[in-house]
């Protein structure tokens, strides 16, 4: 019982830190100004012109459509993208033996998979709104809600007769296509006279999402409430379990 109580308490701690992370995300988004491309360009010109490029490190939120001069090409879909994740996995079947609730061993053939190749690529792009466009360097960004672009399965020519039967390979591709609307939470800096939105120089949150700002806020609020409730429940169960174990 003591071990179970400790597990619940550890889960409560992990859930609490998840709750704190969502709260921090909400505070950061709420405290950061939303800019148009034109306004950011004006700020860049004014600060760089008077104080130099090193003086510009402006936290910002920008929404607009993705444009790219030299986009990537999806390895499976062939679509024009500014970021993608490509995972190739081998799928197989093998007998697995487990002990059931009655203490007897049961062997069943189960399907599994293992990753044999994983690739992620990103390229700089422009974000355009009704006032103009700003360059974005996505390196170091958390890219949420990437669109699934391909999910293809290629059967093996010869599955073999080994214990683990090779069924084939599956290729999954997800990414950010050119032309979609995104919300960006990052930092405006100067790079050799060019205004760029990127990760804050001293570290911090850098987010690119297909959700709007309001959708992100609503999602974070819902996640925070759920995590807080689960943390409380896990903590109470863990505490009661430990107490019960001490007195029994």
Chain segment 56-80, per-residue pLDDT in tens: 888 899 999 999 999 999 999 999 9
Taking 80 as the threshold, does the pLDDT of residue 138 lie above it? yes
Helix (H, G, I), strand (E, B) or coil at 118: strand
Report how far residue 100's alpha carbon sits from residue 98's, in angstroms, rounded to the nearest whole number: 6
Q: Residue written as tokens 């999954």?
A: 172
Mark 13-44 as b/e (b = at least 16 C-beta within 10 Å): eebbebbeebbebbebbeebeebbbeebbebb
Half-sphere exposure of 220 (CA within 13 A, CB side): 20
Each residue's pLDDT tens digit, 146-166: 999 999 999 887 666 667 788
222 vs 185, which has greater pLDDT?
185
**Is 132 in contact with 41 (CB distance < 8 Å)?**
yes
- Integer Cα distance of 89 and 112 in angstroms: 10
Tokens standing for 32? 């950061």
Kindly state the tokens that stand for 104.
């007897």
| 30 has pLDDT over 70 | no
């Amino acid at each position: 019982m003591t071990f179970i109580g400790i597990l619940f308490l550890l889960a409560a701690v992990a859930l609490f830190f998840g709750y704190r992370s969502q709260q921090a995300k909400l505070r950061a988004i709420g405290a950061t100004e939303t800019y148009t491309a034109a306004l950011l360009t004006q700020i860049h010109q004014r600060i760089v012109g008077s104080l130099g490029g090193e003086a510009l490190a402006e936290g910002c939120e920008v929404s607009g459509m993705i444009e790219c001069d030299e986009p990537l090409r999806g390895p499976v879909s062939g679509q024009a993208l500014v970021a993608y994740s490509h995972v190739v996995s081998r799928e197989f079947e093998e007998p697995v033996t487990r002990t059931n609730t009655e203490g007897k061993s049961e062997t069943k053939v189960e399907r599994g998979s293992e990753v044999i190749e994983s690739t992620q690529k990103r390229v700089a792009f422009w974000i355009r709104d009704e006032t103009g466009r700003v360059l974005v360097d996505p390196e170091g960004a958390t890219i949420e809600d990437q669109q699934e672009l391909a999910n293809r399965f290629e059967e093996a020519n010869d599955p073999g007769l080994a214990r683990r039967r090779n069924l084939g390979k599956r290729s999954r591709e997800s990414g950010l296509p050119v032309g979609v609307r995104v919300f960006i939470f990052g930092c405006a800096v100067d790079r050799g006279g060019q205004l760029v939105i990127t990760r804050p120089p001293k570290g911090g949150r850098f987010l690119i999402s297909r959700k709007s700002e309001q959708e992100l806020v609503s999602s974070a609020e819902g996640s925070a409430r759920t995590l807080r409730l689960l943390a409380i429940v896990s903590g109470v169960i863990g505490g009661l379990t430990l107490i019960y174990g001490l007195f029994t």
